[in-house]
Every structure is written in structure tokens, then in C-alpha cells.
Amino acid sequence: MDLLEYQGKQLFARHGVPVPSGKPARTVEEAVAAAEEIGYPVAVKAQVQIGGRGKLGGIKIATNAAEARAHAEAILGMDIRGLTVYELWIEGASDIAAEYYASVVFDRSAKAPLVMLSTKGGMDIEAVAEEDPDAIAHLHVDPLVGFQDFHGRELAFKAGVDADVVRPIGAILKQLYHVFVAEEATLVEVNPLIITPERGVRALDAKVTLDNNSFFRHKENAELRDLSAEDPQERMAKERGLTYVKLDGNIGILGNGAGLVMSTLDVVKLAGGEAANFLDAGGGSKAEAITSAVEVILANPRVTAVLFNIFGGITRCDEVARGLIAAFAQIKPTVPFVVRLDGTNDVEGRKLLAEADLPNVYTEATMDGAAAKVVELAGPARA
């Protein structure tokens, strides 16, 4: 789960990472009140889970109440790369002598945390990596050893930071690593990490991604979900215990097991179609789970046909058939369905579907045949 900037900074503050003082605001009046309390000048910052806000007008400096009000009015409701701004972070403006970049990310290939530091902060780190890869110092940390003081000094010297801030930079890297481990994050990023004229070090931004699977150990983090930023279908699926990812096509996909669903996406693509989603109903799917899955798929108005690809192992094909029959009784879908049932109780499942004689439901014996049929029925994706 990605956090908003201010949520990341609040997380940082709990672990002793120095951040500017600030307050969140959802209305213009709250923004002005926060600015008055913090004291001018302040930064009025759009809170959306995407970078590049400043270049798009999502960050403004206010030196008085009138400017704070004008900036808040302009930024609230703004569209930033497809995301609507519903919340602001009002923060005391910072004097900046230098901008660095720092991050801790889990490197899956190395199976270890990767810590990075660069003196080229304030820029897109992807651009820095492409144009001047030597400008980014990095090292892997043995999780059993943890981040040590000498790691910080090594990164600081490699990155070429100013000599008088080598130790403060090392200290804040150690704190960021602690946040990464303690909060079970997959990414902790600060861009920029600023050096003040007094040679202090402070996190001026915060990008944090938390591992959702750890939330049973971090109840307070689970409450940080930004529901307004979540896709409605994905949120609906999560509430119903389904694994769902929205895609750009027009063919709804349901399978049991992640591997089978991925294969189904590939087969549909090879047949000339575009999937509207990835939906894994899971092993042992019961009739009620199938009904919920149909509701989630059809909540996407782009869907013009649906493919059920079920290989019965733990999952019983007759249960899937009953779920589809129940879904048709409750939802009354208007788009065609193609169903391929194979494995445990597949004969019984196909028999149930035949007896129910559901409108606009087609059965196919193979994945290739099912994919070709659903692509034919779906037609071209809507613009």
C-alpha cells in the first residue's frame, strides 16, 4: 500500500527521522487555519500518490493568509496525472542549501534490502540512473547484520556528499532503514533529502510503500488506506476477499489459481483480445464466491464479455456452475459468458449449466476454444 506524503512523514516522525512541521487539510478553511498555526511562509502541497507534483502546480509557497487561501482553492480538486486532489499538506517552508536523494528498497533479485544515496536529489531518480548511473551510491544490507554506522559512511563517501554532513547523512540513512524494517515496508524514499543552511539534514518528502500482508501486525498502518485513491472495482474485490487487478481491455476474466488466470490472459491476448481484469477466485471457490466475482467483473462498464476458465482440483466445477446460475438469477447479466470447466465434477457442472439454459452462456471444452469464442463475442474494446 502506497502512503500519501504526509502519512509517510508522520511515520518517519514516529521513528525520529527529522521532518518539517505540518498539518493535513481537506478544506480551504482547514488549510488556512493550519498555515496560520504553523506560521508563514508555508508550502501548500497536493496529496496524491504520484511524483512530479511541483512541476504540475501541485506545490505552492504561501507568504500570507490570502496566498494560502488562493493556493488551497487552486490545488484542491486539481487533476494530477489522472488523480484528483482531495487532501493537502500544509508545511513550514524550508531553506535549502542542497538536495540529496535517499531510499531503501527491497531488492528481490538479491533477496536483501538495497540502500541508495545520491547528491542529485530533487530530480527524477530514473533520469539520474539513466544519464549518470555513477551518481547513485548503493549497497545491499545483510538483514541479519542490519544497517551499521560504517554503511552510512561508505554510502556518503561513495556519493560524494559534503564532508561536514557525512555523519548526519549516515545517521538519517540508519533511521530510514529502521523505518523500513520496523514498519515492514517494501520502499522508503526521500526525494529530496535536504541540507539546510545550518547544515542540518531533513526529509522534505516521503514516499513509503507498506507490505499489505503485514497489516495484521500493524493495525495502525491498515487504517491509513486512502479509499478515495483506490479503484472502485479493486476496493470491492478486496472487501469480498478476491484477488483482482483492473486492466485496460473489455474481456472479463475469472479463473481459480493465479497461474491459470495468467495463462488465460495470455491465451486471450494470443486470440486477439484484451483482458479487462485479472481475477483469481482461489482454490476451493464456493458458489457465493463465484457470485461475488461476477458482480465485481461486471461493475466495470468496459466489460463486453466474460470468460470463466476453471480447472477443478480443490475447486469443484459443479460449485462454480451453481455460483454462475445464482449470479444470473441475482444480477441478470446482459453480456455473453464463455465457460470452460475441466477437472473435478466437470461433467456435473456442465450438466447443471445445460439444465439451467442460461441466456447468452456458451460452454467450451478447451482454453484455446474458450478464448477464441470470448474474443469473437466481445468485439473491439470501447474507447
C-beta of residue 193 within 8 angstroms of C-beta of residue 156: no
pLDDT class of 228 with cuts at 50, 70, 90: low
pLDDT class of 287 with cuts at 50, 70, 90: low
Domain 231-378: CATH superfamily, name plus number: Succinyl-CoA synthetase domains (3.40.50.261)
Scanning 160-316, the segments in alpha helix (DSSP H) are 166-182, 219-222, 232-239, 258-270, 287-298
Mean pLDDT along residues 87-93: 96
Q: Where are the domains of the chain?
A: 21-92, 98-222, 231-378
| pLDDT above 80: residue 345 | yes
Question: According to CATH, what is the number of the domain 98-222?
Answer: 3.30.470.20
* Percentage of the residues of the chain whose pLDDT score is greater than 70: 96
| pLDDT above 80: residue 87 | yes
Q: What is the pLDDT of residue 55?
A: 85
| pLDDT above 70: residue 284 | no
Closest CA to 189 of 252, 118, 86: 118
Per-residue exposure over 135-164, b if at least 16 CB sit within 10 Å of its own CB, e if not: bbbbeebeeeeebeeebbebbbeebebeee
Any bridge partners for residue 114, and if so which? 105, 140
**Lowest mean per-residue pLDDT among 28-37, 248-257, 284-293:** 284-293
Q: Is the four-CA dihedral 293, 295, 298, 301 of positive or negative sign?
A: negative
| pLDDT above 70: residue 289 | yes
Catalytic site positions: 101, 189
pLDDT class of 170 with cuts at 50, 70, 90: very high
- 151: three-class secondary structure by DSSP: helix
Distance from C-alpha of 150 to C-alpha of 61, rounded to nearest angstrom:
38
Domain 21-92: CATH superfamily, name plus number: ATP-grasp fold, A domain (3.30.1490.20)
Q: What is the pTM of this model?
A: 0.71
Mean pLDDT along residues 223-248: 77
Mean pLDDT along residues 202-215: 93
Any bridge partners for residue 306, and if so which? 252, 337
